[in-house]
Amino acid sequence: MSDRLEGLEGPNTHHSTMQDFRTLKAWQQSHTLAIDLLRFSTRWMPADLAGAVRQAALLMPSTLARGCAGTPASLIAAVRMTRLHLEDIDAYLLIARDLNELAASDYAALDIRIARLRYQLDALARTAQRHPEALVLN
């Protein structure tokens, strides 16, 4: 084991933790959307707009993952922040469409995925608020 890793505790070693972020539908959707946006933005967007899309896209799944490392309250905060990143992406894609850098059909397909992710994020926030025990590992 590397000297830098010695002494680090593994998952679930010192207190109850949230479930693995990879199991959350909202994380799965944010991850695949981020991957697609990263691939897609390099092909069609001006550099400054592509950079903004890529940054917001990368922050969505990482913010949710970080939220799962804490309490239900931290997850709720992470969901809210992820939702803000998603709204940024939506606005950037509208700009790209209006600049004719993104085809209307491509925008429409991405808009559907954004709407689905909004729904998943809202559902996750409701679960964390109403039934936080459902998200905590024993």
Residue 15 lies in a domain: no
Total domains present in the chain: 1
* Domain hosting residue 60, numbered range: 21-130
More confidently predicted of 109 and 44: 109
Whether residue 13 is predicted with pLDDT greater than 80 in this model: the reply is no
Angle at 137 between CA 136 and CA 138, to 5 degrees: 115
Structure pTM? 0.83
Whether residue 3 is predicted with pLDDT greater than 60 in this model: the reply is no
Best-predicted range by mean pLDDT (2-6, 38-42, 103-107, 114-118) = 114-118
| Mean pLDDT of all residues in 29-57 | 91
**Burial class, 93, CB count within 10 angstroms (exposed 0-12 / middle 13-18 / buried 19+):** buried
Angle at 42 between CA 24 and CA 35, to 5 degrees: 15
Residue 10 lies in a domain: no
CA distance 133 to 129: 10
| Mean pLDDT of all residues in 43-63 | 91
Residue 16 lies in a domain: no
Residue 102 lies in a domain: yes
Whether residue 138 is predicted with pLDDT greater than 70 in this model: the reply is no
CA distance 3 to 137: 30
| Phi-psi map region of 5: left, alpha, beta (phi>0 left; psi -120 to 50 alpha) | alpha
